[in-house]
Amino acid sequence: MASPSSNTSKRKAKDKSISPPPLKRKAQSTISKGAVASFFTPTSQKPKDRTTWSERAPNDDTPPTLLVGRYEPENTEELDRRRRRKIAAFDLDSTLITTASGKKFGDDPSDWKWWDSNVPSRLRKLYTEEDYRVIILSNQAGITLHPDPKSKAPKAGNKNKVEKFKQKCSAVLAQLDLPTTVYAATGRDIFRKPRTGMWTELCRDYEIPEDEVELQGSIFVGDAGGRTAQLKNSETGAAATAKDFSCSDRNFAHNVGISFKTPEEFFLGEPPRDFVRDFDLASYPYPRTNAADGDDSSDVAFEKTNEQDIVLFCGPPGAGKSSFYWRHLRPLGYERVNQDTLKSRAKCFKAAAELLGGGNSIVIDNTNPDTDGRKEWVEFARKHDVPIRCVWFNVPKALCEHNDVVRALNKSMNPETRTALPALAFNGFFSRFKEPKAKDGFQDVIEMDFKFNGTEEEYAIWGRYWR
């Protein structure tokens, strides 16, 4: 006989409602149908990527830094055989395309859209109806083609960045579907805008002698135009706009000798905005009073007033101190003491003492930005019983940075083979700088403004935008 407890348990089990069996839910795949189809499609039947990639080096002694992707449509029309001497060149990011996500920088090769819906049709019209060679020139400092083996940065991550950039460009070029080339400058060398290395490469690739380009009809369009910020205009309803991050695109067009427009001007027909340059070449024209060979001896820049003395230079890197020494003080018999050469301050004092002991007048060719550092040389001069004079090179930072890059990238103007300095070298000087005064112990302080000294050929190099 069953116990009451067992009957109760059976009754409870029988009275319990019975639910239908759970449904099997289909997992949502993150793989697109197109990707699946592509996987099972034989390689011979897959669409061909019509962009061919290559790399270029700035010279024989350095690894490649220029990435070049040339796109050729499936059926290159007879139209492309025309002699095209007008070039319409464009920046890439924030000019032809922008991120679809709204991020400032997209890391997904599919995260892009046309900057404006009429961009592709406008480019096609330039090519098919107006006989322009359409080219893309882009600075891409965020990727490195060949990382320094000594660098501790992860190599795999950078390689992935390069591949993603290639994928994005291939997609852009495929949608545009014009015979064109994208040039991406990844280093801070001759290829980087506003320098003209990419322009030289495109002329060579399309067999257009640079002196045969129709400069008057050619154009460069980019977003780095040096435009100033604009406040919101309550009367017109115009929104506030931020200033441009640089003026490199406008300066590139200036260097090449072609007209420049921003994307808003070119694609939308908006009027030009005000712009400024932190360094303007118009302020430093070639001094026509110079002799043909660049000699300005008629302009006395420095006079020797003591039988023996010390001349202390004070000025930022790139201010022209060393050039001033070789041009003006070396002919007067001054010997040079330079910390870049001697490598330490202690060695500079030792060399200076030896030169003074030999009866020489000397120049201390260093930056000497602060009062305390200059005071050591004043006391050194007093100890050796010779007067000390100061030559202060009062040169703006932007001009110094320009001079530094010109020197580093042009062997003919770089007799000491100096490399380009980091921004820290300039920022450090100006953060520590105190103006030198005669009361600090100097016999006198001679203030020097910058003046280009050289031939017209040298000015042709110097008188471009380099940064």
Which CATH number is 390's domain given? 3.40.50.300
| Contact (CB, 8 A) for 38 and 32 | no
Residues 399 and 443 in one domain: yes
Residue 29 has pLDDT above 60, yes or no: no
In this structure, is residue 103 part of a structural domain? Answer: yes
With residue 253 as reference, give the H or E element that holds it: helix 248-256
Least reliable range by pLDDT among 3-12, 168-177, 328-337, 348-357: 3-12
| Contact (CB, 8 A) for 67 and 145 | yes
Residue 157 has pLDDT above 80, yes or no: no
In this structure, is residue 255 part of a structural domain? Answer: yes
* Separation of alpha carbons 337 and 153, rounded Å: 38
- Quick one: CA dihedral 129, 130, 135, 137, positive or negative? negative
Residue whose C-alpha is closest to residue 360's, from 393, 315, 320, 311: 311
Residues 251 and 398 in one domain: no
Residue 7: pLDDT band by 50, 70, 90 thresholds?
Answer: very low
Residues 246 and 362 in one domain: no
pLDDT digits (tens, 9 = 90+) for 108-132: 999 999 999 999 999 999 999 999 9
In this structure, the dihedral spanned by the alpha carbons of residues 114, 118, 122 and 128, taken in order and rounded to 10 degrees, is 90
Residues 364 and 230 in one domain: no
* Separation of alpha carbons 112 and 106, rounded Å: 8
Q: Which amino acid is at 29?
A: S
Final residue of a structural domain among 257, 277, 297:
277
Looking at residue 334, what is its pLDDT?
A: 98
Residue 427 has pLDDT above 90, yes or no: yes
Residues 242 and 320 in one domain: no
Least reliable range by pLDDT among 16-25, 368-377, 437-446: 16-25
Residue whose C-alpha is closest to residue 368's, from 321, 315, 320, 329: 315
In this structure, is residue 71 part of a structural domain? Answer: yes
* Separation of alpha carbons 184 and 186, rounded Å: 6
Burial class (CB in 10 A: 0-12, 13-18, 19+), 287: middle
* Separation of alpha carbons 395 and 390, rounded Å: 15
3-class state of residue 134 by DSSP: strand
Residues 238 and 325 in one domain: no
Residue 70 has pLDDT above 60, yes or no: yes
- Over range 293-308, report the average pLDDT: 72
Question: For residue 53, what are the CA distances in angstroms to 44, 60, 68, 107, 131?
Answer: 20, 20, 6, 20, 25
Range of the domain at 324: 310-462
Mean pLDDT of the chain: 88
Residues 181 and 264 in one domain: yes
In this structure, is residue 73 part of a structural domain? Answer: yes
Count of C-beta atoms within a 10 Å radius of residue 396: 16
Residues 123 and 255 in one domain: yes
Residues 374 and 315 in one domain: yes
pTM (predicted TM-score):
0.83
Residues 107 and 182 in one domain: yes
Our count of domains for the chain comes to 2
In this structure, is residue 111 part of a structural domain? Answer: yes
Residue whose C-alpha is closest to residue 67's, from 149, 216, 170: 170
Residues 273 and 324 in one domain: no
Residue 2 has pLDDT above 80, yes or no: no
| Contact (CB, 8 A) for 98 and 115 | yes
Final residue of a structural domain among 277, 302, 330:
277
316 phi/psi in degrees, rounded to 5: -70, 165
- Over range 371-387, report the average pLDDT: 97
In this structure, is residue 39 part of a structural domain? Answer: no
Looking at residue 231, what is its pLDDT?
A: 87
Residues 249 and 319 in one domain: no
Residue whose C-alpha is closest to residue 260's, from 226, 209, 212, 211: 226
In this structure, is residue 10 part of a structural domain? Answer: no
In this structure, is residue 371 part of a structural domain? Answer: yes
The CATH number that applies at residue 217 is: 3.40.50.1000
Residue whose C-alpha is closest to residue 309's, from 405, 441, 432, 217: 441
Final residue of a structural domain among 227, 254, 277:
277
